[in-house]
Amino acid sequence: MFAISLGDDGAELRPLEPYHAEEYLAHIDRGREYIGRFIGLADVCTDLDSARAFLRSYAEKAADDSGRLYGIWTADGTLVGGVLFRTFDAAAGTCEVGCWLEEAAVGRGLVTRAIRVIVDWAVEERGIHRVEWIAAAGNAASIKVAQRLGLVRDGVQREKYARGGVRHDVEIWSVLAPEWRELRAGAR
Amino acid sequence: MFAISLGDDGAELRPLEPYHAEEYLAHIDRGREYIGRFIGLADVCTDLDSARAFLRSYAEKAADDSGRLYGIWTADGTLVGGVLFRTFDAAAGTCEVGCWLEEAAVGRGLVTRAIRVIVDWAVEERGIHRVEWIAAAGNAASIKVAQRLGLVRDGVQREKYARGGVRHDVEIWSVLAPEWRELRAGAR
Amino acid sequence: MFAISLGDDGAELRPLEPYHAEEYLAHIDRGREYIGRFIGLADVCTDLDSARAFLRSYAEKAADDSGRLYGIWTADGTLVGGVLFRTFDAAAGTCEVGCWLEEAAVGRGLVTRAIRVIVDWAVEERGIHRVEWIAAAGNAASIKVAQRLGLVRDGVQREKYARGGVRHDVEIWSVLAPEWRELRAGAR
Amino acid sequence: MFAISLGDDGAELRPLEPYHAEEYLAHIDRGREYIGRFIGLADVCTDLDSARAFLRSYAEKAADDSGRLYGIWTADGTLVGGVLFRTFDAAAGTCEVGCWLEEAAVGRGLVTRAIRVIVDWAVEERGIHRVEWIAAAGNAASIKVAQRLGLVRDGVQREKYARGGVRHDVEIWSVLAPEWRELRAGAR
Amino acid sequence: MFAISLGDDGAELRPLEPYHAEEYLAHIDRGREYIGRFIGLADVCTDLDSARAFLRSYAEKAADDSGRLYGIWTADGTLVGGVLFRTFDAAAGTCEVGCWLEEAAVGRGLVTRAIRVIVDWAVEERGIHRVEWIAAAGNAASIKVAQRLGLVRDGVQREKYARGGVRHDVEIWSVLAPEWRELRAGAR
Amino acid sequence: MFAISLGDDGAELRPLEPYHAEEYLAHIDRGREYIGRFIGLADVCTDLDSARAFLRSYAEKAADDSGRLYGIWTADGTLVGGVLFRTFDAAAGTCEVGCWLEEAAVGRGLVTRAIRVIVDWAVEERGIHRVEWIAAAGNAASIKVAQRLGLVRDGVQREKYARGGVRHDVEIWSVLAPEWRELRAGAR
């Protein structure tokens, strides 16, 4: 029912819910290898039941106001990725945002546009003060999004994250509400 | 974040969530007496905790895909009422829709417009076959909405509903998916 | 332990509990096809675990006072069917009763007698004001019971119920406490 | 609905359920001091909420088949006491029975009769092999019931039970299924 | 992290926790037949999942202060058995202790020493008044431990326990806090 | 029962459990103001119930192997502070350690000694690869402990933490397993 236009190319941001399980699984199956290079998202979605369970875990976070999940659909109605609040703590004024995308949809700025939408909401409507972006140090695409959005690197958690038998450094980037407002004002 | 325009007067339909508890309580307090003439909605919302609990119960139904709650905001940003799926059963192809409104917002067709939005979604995007509308026989305003929307009266459950020490007959109205599509085609 | 005689033929009404799972499964297996023509009862009972789970769901409803399940045993100790409160809401003064029977036990009035026992209890001991009986429009046997008991048809929910790929109209019948008392007085 | 006659005096044994909370509280209030001399039953029932919670805990045990509670009503419809399966383990073939009574109802053999009913059911219908009766060593009335029923004393758990700041020895009595059948045959 | 020396042979008593599941399963596999002669401990631990579930059930009891599980490790770091509070009720001042051992570790007094440690703690630090020891009448080794520790036999629950298709008498032994203190004083 | 000596001054590290609630509350009451300058620990412990609830939350984390709580007792048997695994993820190989102390116990190195014990266990017995230490930038005492232990500062989460109406930067320090082993070897 609800949708937010992400620009002239017809892409839209919508809530991604348990009833999208089949569509989500098909999308993850297309992007499994590419998405799985740095993040575990695709690992927990291997069939319809696990897809539904994952989407449902975020529906429960939404009910708790502790996390939210949004899908990105292209003009032809294909779910190609999404953005999320991995954590959301209105009382503490903090949240962590993240994203994923199947390879075919890379390079159009979809994630950057979508992140702007949800950070605007977090900062302007929900009073979030600090927005975090966390990425494996080797995930150049993710770090590039953080940079493009104007975030600042707070530090590197050394060897924080194990994936594929290797431990990776993890970068923490952030933007504070006043900085975000300035960035948005400058962008206009 | 998400909103659907209900027309030229600037009114919008948005998800109504636990974090709206204060706003929702203020709205219910304004409309308590008027809303409470026929339905129990206002009874279960007497303070901030109970308001949050009510909104949360619908957030959990949304996570279960078994019910959903939407608020109607006027152009000046005031929450004045809402529409809801009291029940939603995609597997069975049935749902019950309902509404409420504070008196100040009556007479502008807000509810009729909002119901059209959510029934469209139920029928066209979620495959609902039968949409129900249930109202106390004396609730003329509610029954008028059902009529205006083109619903059909299926029957009267005699003395089904006790409110204020009196038992009321309850009318069941419905529209089936093919009927809805015809009504919508005719309305264009 | 507890049993109520249903008449001179030795049939008895007893609580139907989780520990009857084997007996219940055997009964459902005998009546699966016949019972399944209009209702889903047999569908959820396909093996001992699901039989126990179904009986247990009603034991929990009994603990909640929100539903109850009773079996009908013939004189030779065979479980042949039952009656139930599908819903029971003492605070609202409403309940829905229902029944099922394997074919071999049809035609002896067992269900009618059993329903009289449980409606008496609902009306006289528990203060229920409105008792509902809901049946698919094509379920002639069920509707005949409602008529024989003296219930009134409140309406028809068009295409409410999907079974076997077909949508069925659903009839709502009811009796109010004063009506029931009159019917019972007349029957004596 | 269900009741078992306890004899010519019109006393009956019936399931004691959460909806009896008011009646149960009134009974406990009448018998609080007398019942409380040796057992804690009355301590956990001090108002309507705690009465309902206690009755509900046994309704849940009944759903689990791990305990059951029965009330004794006299001919004039007064709840005067009850018997119970404090524990019930059909798989292990063991259960513990117990009883309570307000003082006004003492001396009529109500408990002995009621215990016979429920032990018969446990042994003959549910396959229980060993029935236990546990009583504080000073609870002469309770021990007299055990003796009258023909139970055997298995031992004394020294200082097992603290009540009113004093530790009491606790006697364990029992009867095995073959013994029970013999006792019942002899009694005829 | 935590360990208590059980004497000069280097044996130690330590909390036995869910993360020991692999080690515990290997131990149970070694001792399955010997341990299983009289108690059901090994029956509920047949693979890694059930081992973890068993250990976790005791971790939850520890969180509730209603039971605790300790392992006995020999000097070479092998888990060979353990002692436990099968029940623990600080408010009532009672607990039941128990033990198990694989055959290779029998005859060194490990269990007796470990039981002394945990009974000391129960009596001196937690205010337990009565410690119970329960054993099948035929379990000579277990009863010998009770005797060696100075416990008193309270009675015999006739045919209480079914194992391997046979019903066994069950002995209840106990020691009271003052007795324990005297025994410990005498032992010094 | 279990305790680890923290050195010649008789101080000991022990599991801190729900049954310590009274003792823990008394300790928090003594240290409330001092402890509360930078961390929220004391805020959630205002009476016996909340003290027990807090201790219980960590007992449940221990059962889940997702966190653990230890108290520090001085030679005279006074609980003066503690150390904890705020998070513990054996599968990911990461944990976060923390500490608190009432002012009277400051300056004796108790926390440093206790942290060494639990990090040794995490690294050597549980296979943790990365241990984190997180402190408000203004919490000089906490940061000094991190430095004394040889940890490395990974970064500063700007304005991450709101306390007393002010947002604080939060420092992340860490040590990796090989580094810890080297530090411990050098310290000998």
Q: Do F126 and E3 touch (CB under 8 A)?
A: no
Biggest CA–CA distance in chain A, Å, is 45
Q: Is the pTM of this model over 0.90?
A: yes
Q: In whole angstroms, give the CA distance from residue E73 to residue E10.
A: 9
Q: 3-class DSSP state for residue E134? A: strand
Q: Do A62 and B60 touch (CB under 8 A)?
A: no
Q: Point out the residue among E2, E17, E56 whose CB comes nearest to the CB of F2.
A: E2
Contact F160, F138 (CB under 8 A): no
Q: In whole angstroms, give the CA distance from residue B166 to residue B186.
A: 40
Tracing tokens 């999940």 back to the chain, one arrives at A69
E8's enclosing H/E stretch is none
Q: Which residues of A touch B63 (CB under 8 A)?
A: 18, 56, 59-60, 62-63
D and C touch with 3+ CB pairs <8 Å, answer yes
* Concatenated DSSP letters of F61-125: HHHHTS-EEEEEE-TTS-EEEEEEEEEEETTTTEEEEEEEE-GGGTTS-HHHHHHHHHHHIIIII
Q: Which residues of A144-177 are buried (b: 16+ CB within 10 A; e: fewer)?
A: ebbeebebeebbbbbbbbeeeeebbebbbbbbbb
pLDDT band at B188 (very low <50, low <70, confident <90, very high): low
Residue E125's pLDDT is 97
Q: Exposure of D14 by Cβ count < 10 A (0-12 exposed, 13-18 middle, 19+ buried)?
A: middle
Q: Give partners of C (≥3 CB pairs < 8 A).
A: B, D
Percentage of chain A exceeding pLDDT 90:
97
Residue E164's pLDDT is 84
| Arithmetic mean of pLDDT, C107-132 | 97
Chain E's closest residue to F123, CA to CA, is E1
Q: In whole angstroms, give the CA distance from residue F33 to residue F26.
A: 13
Q: In whole angstroms, give the CA distance from residue B51 to residue B69.
A: 13
Contact A129, A135 (CB under 8 A): no
ipTM of the complex: 0.94
> Which pLDDT tens digit goes with each residue over B16-43?
999 999 999 999 999 999 999 999 999 9
Q: In whole angstroms, give the CA distance from residue A98 to residue F7.
A: 47
Q: Point out the residue among F2, F63, F125 whose CB comes nearest to the CB of E56.
A: F63
Contact B73, B42 (CB under 8 A): no
Chain D's closest residue to E157, CA to CA, is D154
Q: How far is CA F117 from CA F80, F85, F106, F124, in A?
A: 17, 12, 18, 11
Beta strands in B16-93 (DSSP E): 68-73, 79-89
D168 contacts chain E (CB < 8 A): no
CB atoms under 10 Å from CB of D154, counted, come to 23
E53 contacts chain F (CB < 8 A): no
> Which pLDDT tens digit goes with each residue over F90-102?
999 999 999 999 9
Beta strands in C18-123 (DSSP E): 68-73, 79-89, 94-101
* Tally of CA atoms within 13 A in the half-sphere of A97 that contains its CB: 27
| Arithmetic mean of pLDDT, C59-70 | 97
C93 contacts chain B (CB < 8 A): yes
Tokens linked to E75: 């000097």
C43 contacts chain B (CB < 8 A): no
Q: Do B158 and C154 touch (CB under 8 A)?
A: yes
Q: Do D1 and C63 touch (CB under 8 A)?
A: no
Q: In whole angstroms, give the CA distance from residue B183 to residue B177.
A: 10
Tokens linked to A102: 């199947």
Tokens linked to F35: 């402890």
E19 contacts chain F (CB < 8 A): yes
Contact E135, E146 (CB under 8 A): yes
Å between C127 CA and nearest CA of chain B: 13
Å between A78 CA and nearest CA of chain F: 34
Residue E186's pLDDT is 86
Instruction: Name the A residues in 136-155 with CB < 8 Å from any F CB.
Output: 152-155
Q: Do C159 and B92 touch (CB under 8 A)?
A: no
Q: 3-class DSSP state for residue B139? A: coil
Å between C107 CA and nearest CA of chain D: 25
C67: which DSSP letter? -
| Residue E183 reports pLDDT greater than 80 | yes
Q: How far is CA D89 from CA B103, D68, D116, E171, F161, in A?
A: 60, 11, 18, 19, 53
Residue F24's pLDDT is 98
> Which pLDDT tens digit goes with each residue over E94-123?
999 999 999 999 999 999 999 999 999 999
| 3 state SS for F128-139 | CCEEEEEEECCC
* Tally of CA atoms within 13 A in the half-sphere of B15 that contains its CB: 20
Q: Give partners of E (≥3 CB pairs < 8 A).
A: D, F
Q: Do F1 and E65 touch (CB under 8 A)?
A: no
Q: Do F162 and A132 touch (CB under 8 A)?
A: no
Which residues are bridge partners to D44 per DSSP? none
| Residue F188 reports pLDDT greater than 70 | no
E103 contacts chain F (CB < 8 A): no
Q: Give partners of F (≥3 CB pairs < 8 A).
A: A, E
Angle at F37 between CA F32 and CA F40, to 5 degrees: 70
Radius of gyration of the CA atoms of chain C, in A: 16
Radius of gyration of the CA atoms of chain B, in A: 16
* Phi then psi dihedrals of residue B65, to 5 deg: 60, 35
| Arithmetic mean of pLDDT, A33-38 | 94
* Phi then psi dihedrals of residue E101, to 5 deg: -155, 140
Q: In whole angstroms, give the CA distance from residue A121 to residue A4.
A: 12
Q: In whole angstroms, give the CA distance from residue E160 to residue B28.
A: 62
Q: 3-class DSSP state for residue B64? A: helix
B167 contacts chain C (CB < 8 A): yes
Contact F149, F118 (CB under 8 A): no
Q: In whole angstroms, give the CA distance from residue F185 to residue F188.
A: 5
Q: Point out the residue among A93, A155, A162 whose CB comes nearest to the CB of F93.
A: A162
Which residues are bridge partners to A183 per DSSP? none
B15 contacts chain A (CB < 8 A): yes
Chain B's closest residue to A119, CA to CA, is B1
CA-based nearest residue to B51, from B85, B16, B87: B16
Q: Which residues of D touch C126 (CB under 8 A)?
A: 19
| Arithmetic mean of pLDDT, B108-130 | 97
C75's enclosing H/E stretch is none
Å between A35 CA and nearest CA of chain B: 25
F132 contacts chain A (CB < 8 A): yes
Q: In whole angstroms, give the CA distance from residue F115 to residue F60.
A: 21
| Arithmetic mean of pLDDT, A147-154 | 97
pLDDT band at B164 (very low <50, low <70, confident <90, very high): confident
Q: 3-class DSSP state for residue B89? A: strand
Residue D188's pLDDT is 61
| Residue E76 reports pLDDT greater than 80 | yes
Q: Do C93 and B132 touch (CB under 8 A)?
A: no
Q: Which of C123, C132, C159 to mutate to test the interface with B (most CBs of B within 10 A)?
A: C159
Contact A110, A72 (CB under 8 A): yes
B and F touch with 3+ CB pairs <8 Å, answer no
Q: Which residues of E touch F63 (CB under 8 A)?
A: 18, 56, 59-60, 62-63
For chain D, domain boundaries? 4-187
C178's enclosing H/E stretch is helix C177-187
Q: 3-class DSSP state for residue C16? A: coil
> Which pLDDT tens digit goes with each residue over A42-77?
999 999 999 999 999 999 999 999 999 999 999 999
Tracing tokens 């999320």 back to the chain, one arrives at A84
Q: Is the dihedral of CA A176, A177, A178, A180 positive or negative?
A: positive
> Which pLDDT tens digit goes with each residue over B65-98?
999 999 999 999 999 999 999 999 999 999 999 9
Residue E188's pLDDT is 61
Tokens linked to A61: 């976070």
Q: Do F94 and A129 touch (CB under 8 A)?
A: no
Q: In whole angstroms, give the CA distance from residue F142 to residue F138.
A: 9
Query: Which parts of chain D sit beneath pLDDT 50?
Result: none
Chain C's closest residue to D62, CA to CA, is C59
A18 contacts chain B (CB < 8 A): yes
pLDDT band at C188 (very low <50, low <70, confident <90, very high): low
* Phi then psi dihedrals of residue D52, to 5 deg: -65, -40
> Which pLDDT tens digit goes with each residue over F130-172?
999 999 999 999 999 999 999 999 999 999 999 988 999 999 9
Q: Which residues of F touch E63 (CB under 8 A)?
A: 18, 56, 59-60, 62-63
CA-based nearest residue to F2, from B108, E114, C105, D174: E114
pLDDT band at A188 (very low <50, low <70, confident <90, very high): low
Å between E158 CA and nearest CA of chain D: 7
Tokens linked to F26: 């008394």
Which residues are bridge partners to C89 per DSSP? C94
Angle at E107 between CA E105 and CA E112, to 5 degrees: 95
Q: Do D125 and C1 touch (CB under 8 A)?
A: yes
Q: Do C154 and B157 touch (CB under 8 A)?
A: yes
Specify the amino acid at residue B184. R
Q: Point out the residue among F94, F157, F161 whose CB comes nearest to the CB of A160.
A: F94
Å between B155 CA and nearest CA of chain C: 4
Q: Which residues of D touch C60 (CB under 8 A)?
A: 60, 63
Q: Which residues of C37-51 are buried (b: 16+ CB within 10 A; e: fewer)?
A: ebbebbeebeeeeeb
CATH architecture of C4-187: 3-Layer(aba) Sandwich (3.40)
Q: 3-class DSSP state for residue B78? A: coil
Q: In whole angstroms, give the CA distance from residue D24 to residue D18.
A: 9
